[in-house]
Structure 1
Amino acid sequence: MSTARAGTGKSATGAADRKSGHEQPEIVAPRSGERPLHPVPDSHRRCNSCGQVVTDRPTGLIERWHWDELAAEEVARSRGIGNSIALIMIDLDRFKDVNDNYGHLAGDTILRGVADVIRETTREGDLACRYGGSAGDEFIVLLPESGLEEALAVAERIRRGISDMSVTAKVTRDMSATIEGQTASMGVATYCLGDLAELDLEDLMLDADVSLRAAKRHGRDRICVANVDVTGDHSHRNRADRRMATWSRFRRLRSV
């Protein structure tokens, strides 16, 4: 059970919430609190080739619409050379409670902390963005040249990093609070050469999203993965049959 702290004293709100049985994350300065993201001139934040804004201001990760282009190119590249590829979709559990109880600036601090965790647990060349618009608390990480085991290892490092996160944020002009105990639910999807012959980035995102929803339904703070293994000889099947085979495998979603 997590609580909010201001200095060394417990807040009355936090105590009342514990008595009512309502779980809330706590707050403590994420590493980004010590390394604030400085505003970057807009002219320096756009891709020279496509003109899209390159970075998401609150987190410093790739901006969503630029990520769409980069990720689609990476899926096409993987298809061309026969590499497997994986995608992790991350949703912060009960994040609205942070904004409602401690303020939106505290919520931004949590988002920056999560972005730091993702940067520290992924490789150069992996593509991470914040998903869901300006107030989004979802993140996506595309992992080129990664199979299921590699993707699950990365997802677990991210999940553990978020749950261990401790962040400090101002909740009023005179008071700071410590937030701890934030958790995340994750969905993982992987494709290899047989899948990539017919499936694209949108299919990969849809499959990861189905897995994410299963993780939320099964209690949050967990990783679910769909075993979408359609790499055999399916030359006699049309696309609709193949998608039906994929969906049937979602009935065997694994929680790890």
Structure 2
Amino acid sequence: MHTAKAGAGQGEQPARADQHEHSPEIVAPRTSGDRPLRTVGSSRRRCESCGQLMADPPTGLIERWHWDEAASDVVAAARGRGDSIALIMIDLDRFKDVNDSYGHLAGDAVLRGVADVIRDCTREGDLACRYGGSAGDEFLVLLPASELDAALAVAERIRAGITGMSVTAKVTRELSATIEGQTASIGVATYSLGDLVELDLEDLMLDADVSLRAAKRHGRDRICVANMDVSGNRASGSQAGRRLTTWSRFRRLRSV
């Protein structure tokens, strides 16, 4: 739920969003998984090969198509080293209401606020982008060398940071509004060494996306996870068999 208070000038006090009655549900073990907080690396340079901006306006995060290339390299490197890797997929809940109620410039201000939260909650070397093109309100964060507990800790910090945002933006030339109460649904997918033998970035994105949809179905403002640890299920001998195991787990998520 979004709340806002419009004012003709500075000094207006922001309206407070209603407090959540319960903490968001994490469909996974709850562990601290603490890690140092540094900024996500990004660049405003243009790509030498295609001429596109390397950073996404208005967020300043890595431009999506360059993220795809860099993230594929990170997954390949993790496979070579035998590292675990995690992907966080974030979707702003009812973000269309912000654009419809306060205008698209206010929506851009909220997107910038979310990007700042992501930068504050991640390490140097983590890869973040806005997903879905110029109109997208989804974000991807790839976490190299990350186990499930560490990825969940980062996802929870991001979720809490978005909920705690207070964004002031112009809604007309004379009036501004302070927007609060934005929430996000988050899907998390992790791969271990056994998974990385056959699976790639596209598989990781698909599993994170299914987790995100589960978070939406469970009521938004929460985190769901796909833990692709099926290394003990080698009898199937195929990627299709592993995917069937994964979908079975997601079907069980619906009853949580």
Task: Please classify the TM superposition score into its range, dividing by the shorter chain length.
Answer: 0.7 to 0.9
Provide the residue aligned with 1:144 in structure 2: 144
Provide the residue aligned with 2:207 in structure 1: 207
Following TM superposition, by how much is the alpha carbon of 1:237 offset from its aligned partner in structure 2, in angstroms?
1.6
Relative distance call for 1:132 and 1:236 in structure 2 (3 A) is closer
- After superposition, the CA RMSD in angstroms is 2.4
Distance 2:94 2:136 in 1: 12
Following TM superposition, by how much is the alpha carbon of 1:238 offset from its aligned partner in structure 2, in angstroms?
2.2
Identity among equivalent pairs (%): 77
Secondary structure in 1 matching 2:87: strand
Provide the residue aligned with 2:176 in structure 1: 176
Following TM superposition, by how much is the alpha carbon of 1:48 offset from its aligned partner in structure 2, in angstroms?
3.8
Letter in 2 for 1:47: C
Letter in 2 for 1:151: A
Distance 1:211 1:230 in 2: 17
Provide the residue aligned with 1:229 in structure 2: 229
Distance 2:108 2:83 in 1: 36
Following TM superposition, by how much is the alpha carbon of 1:99 offset from its aligned partner in structure 2, in angstroms?
0.2
Tell which has more relative contact order, 1 or 2 (C-alpha 8 A, sep 6+): 2
CA contact (8 A) 2:132 2:138 kept: yes
Provide the residue aligned with 2:107 in structure 1: 107
Relative distance call for 1:152 and 1:254 in structure 2 (3 A) is farther
Distance 1:84 1:60 in 2: 27
Following TM superposition, by how much is the alpha carbon of 1:149 offset from its aligned partner in structure 2, in angstroms?
0.2
Secondary structure in 2 matching 1:246: helix
- Per-residue CA shift, 1:89-130, capped at 9, x if unaligned? 000000000000100000000000000000000000000000
Provide the residue aligned with 2:62 in structure 1: 62
The gaps in structure 2 that reach 5 residues or longer are: 19-42
Within a 5 Å distance, the mapping from 1:81-100 to structure 2 comes to 81-100=81-100
Relative distance call for 1:52 and 1:191 in structure 2 (3 A) is farther
Provide the residue aligned with 2:217 in structure 1: 217
Following TM superposition, by how much is the alpha carbon of 1:6 offset from its aligned partner in structure 2, in angstroms?
1.7
- TM-score, structure 1 normalization: 0.82
Secondary structure in 1 matching 2:134: coil
CA contact (8 A) 1:185 1:212 kept: yes
Provide the residue aligned with 2:241 in structure 1: 241
Letter in 1 for 2:143: L
Following TM superposition, by how much is the alpha carbon of 1:230 offset from its aligned partner in structure 2, in angstroms?
1.0
Secondary structure in 1 matching 2:209: helix
Provide the residue aligned with 1:76 in structure 2: 76
- TM-score, structure 2 normalization: 0.82
Relative distance call for 1:230 and 1:52 in structure 2 (3 A) is farther
CA contact (8 A) 2:67 2:127 kept: yes
Distance 2:219 2:68 in 1: 30
